[in-house]
Amino acid sequence: MTTAYDSRMRVILIIGGILLILGLLSLFIPIPHREKHGFTAGPISVGVETTDRQRVHPAVSGALILGGVALIIVGARKRA
């Protein structure tokens, strides 16, 4: 029989897993960022679109990983 407490711990465990996966992915996959530069003069429009790929700062990735691991430990420990 599942209680409300067990359901909350399961949710914490799932959120921890998601944070861990996001933290690991943010270490390796850069995030694309697009910018449009240009001007419009009457019916004529001139512009350039640039794409830059930026990585998340390693401290942010580390915080996501540590937070995910902490939530996984809390969720697993309370369920047992």
pTM here is: 0.71
Q: Which two tokens stand for residue 63?
A: 């915080």
Radius of gyration of the chain (CA): 21
- Chain-centroid distance, C-alpha 48: 29
Q: Answer positive or negative: Cα dihedral of 39, 43, 48, 49.
A: positive
Write out pLDDT tens, residues 39-78.
888 888 888 888 899 888 999 999 999 999 999 999 887 5
Question: Hey, which bits of the chain come out as E strands?
Answer: 31-41, 44-54
Domain extent, residue 49, equals 4-79
Q: For tokens 């465990």, what's the residue?
A: 13
Q: Give the whole-angstrom CA distance, residue 78 versus residue 8.
A: 10
Model confidence at 1, in pLDDT bands (50, 70, 90)?
low
